[in-house]
Amino acid sequence: MVDPDPDPGSITWRRYPIITGMARSVWWGTGIGVGLSAVSTGIGWFYSSVLLDPTQRPVFPERVLAVDGASVALAPTRLAAQQGVWGLRWIDGLAVMGSPTAITADAVVRPLLGGDVPRAGTAAVLDTGPYDPDPSARGLSFETVDVATPLGPSPAWFVPAAEGGAGDTWVVMVHGRGGSRREALRVLPALHGLGFPVLVPTYRNDVEAPSSPDGHYHLGDTEWLDVEAAVRVALDRGARRIVLFGWSMGGAITAAFLDRSAHASTVGAMIWDAPLVDWRATLRRQARNRRLPPGLIPFATTITSRRIGIDFDRFDLRRRPPAVRPPTLLVHSTEDTAVPVEPSRALAAVAPSLGWPMEYLEVPGVEHTGAWNADPDAYERAVVRFLARVLR
């Protein structure tokens, strides 16, 4: 039986019924293929846009149930129950909390160690950065200096060496994507106590820094130029040796610096906290977090590559390690749902074969960049021991 003819005047469809069926199948297949391709491209573009967008959109998923002045009761969630010292941030306040003293099906109770006091019913978020707004919150004197980046002046905190410090080894601290210089405030006193001058720069698309020309994050591929400018400030002020300290995407940024900067050889040590050492692995994890099908990740990476010109192969450090590989302390937490721990483990495992002196510290039970929060004293001891050993 001949299929109904969509066009009564079409001789071809009437004379060749088999071809008619095939043609319709091809037409439908092509339509479905084009549709699926369009949907995949659209989702890939959306995911790419989320990845590249520097706009800050704070969310407050935790809820304060009660406050008695000395402690706060939070609605029970996985994040609220994390051990250690954490900030509790809400729209107009920040408190410092200690480890939970009680965890029940109804509430997580934590002591208040300082800062503001929230009210019952407040929507809040656990914050790895429990200190605001600058080094003065840690009792440290500092000045703000302008770093002459390729895009214009970008502010940095400069904390001079403690009295008696040598002053020729500087620490440059690089925050992660969507973060801020506040990340450095946690460990800053320990570094200051070692006698190091410390520079904490901003980089393109930070609130206080110039925007990139296209308004996008470049995932380390251009941000390293701003870190290079900060290193030049340190060298111009008498630094002979640099310690790089990076969190999250700060790992990708400092890795690009080590691979491409003329000043990479001045780096005598590096500390990475939850570093992004494989962008593709991180994108796969983030896609799972957003419940995107794994098959769409290639669309997102291809679209992102075309939009910002990044070569993701250069950010797989296990296969493409940077040209300069200083002694490195790599710290990662096992429960990191933002930047997976597995690439850090893999990099640490192959580091000896790459001629890369690397010490690996894994911290259980806390989220992304929460290793310091889990046990500040242990974290700082590890940092101090590492630097004393490799910089002597």
Q: pLDDT tens digits for the chain (392 residues)?
A: 333 333 333 222 233 333 344 344 434 444 444 454 667 778 888 889 989 999 988 899 999 999 998 999 999 999 999 999 999 999 999 999 999 999 999 999 999 999 999 999 999 999 999 999 999 999 999 999 999 999 999 999 999 998 766 679 999 999 999 999 999 999 999 999 999 999 999 999 999 999 999 999 999 999 999 999 999 999 999 999 999 999 999 999 999 999 999 999 999 999 999 999 999 999 999 888 888 877 788 888 999 999 999 999 999 999 999 999 999 999 999 999 999 999 999 999 999 999 999 999 999 999 999 999 999 999 999 999 999 999 98
Closest CA to 326 of 373, 380, 391, 237: 391
Closest by CA to 368, choosing from 261, 268, 275, 293, is: 275
Helix locations, 261-312, DSSP H: 279-289, 297-308
Q: Are 80 and 107 in contact (CB under 8 A)?
A: no
Tell whether the torsion through CA atoms of 355, 356, 357 and 360 is positive or negative. negative
Q: Burial, 373: exposed, middle or buried (Cβ in 10 Å; 0-12, 13-18, 19+)?
A: buried
Cα torsion through 205, 307, 342, 268, rounded to 10: -50
Contacts of 281 (CB under 8 A, 6+ apart): 340, 342, 343
Cα–Cα distance for residue pair 42/38, rounded to 1 Å = 6
pLDDT value at residue 15: 33
Strand, helix or coil at 121?
A: coil
Percentage of the chain with pLDDT > 70?
A: 89
* pLDDT for 165: 66
To the nearest 10°, report the CA torsion of 124, 126, 130, 131: -40
Do the Cβ atoms of 232 and 225 come closer than 8 Å?
A: no
Can you name the residues that pair with 155 across neighbouring β-strands?
146
Q: Are 270 and 244 in contact (CB under 8 A)?
A: yes
Question: Residue 35's pLDDT is what?
Answer: 52
Determine the pLDDT at residue 297.
83
Write down the pLDDT at residue 56: 85
- pTM of the prediction? 0.89
Q: Which amino acid is at 288?
A: R
The tokens describing 332, both together, are 């990662």
Amino acid, single-letter form, for residue 341: V
Give the Cα separation of 275 and 21 in Å (integer): 56
First CA to last CA distance, the chain = 89
Q: What is the pLDDT of residue 43?
A: 82
The predicted structure's pLDDT at residue 8: 32
In the prediction, which pLDDT does 25 show?
Answer: 43
Partners of 273 in beta bridges: 247, 331
Judged by DSSP in three states, 278 sits in: strand
User: What is residue 12's three-state secondary structure?
Assistant: helix
**Structure tokens that stand for 196 in this block:** 């190091």
Cross-strand partners of 174: 246
- Would you say the C-alpha torsion 46, 51, 56, 58 has a positive or negative sign? positive
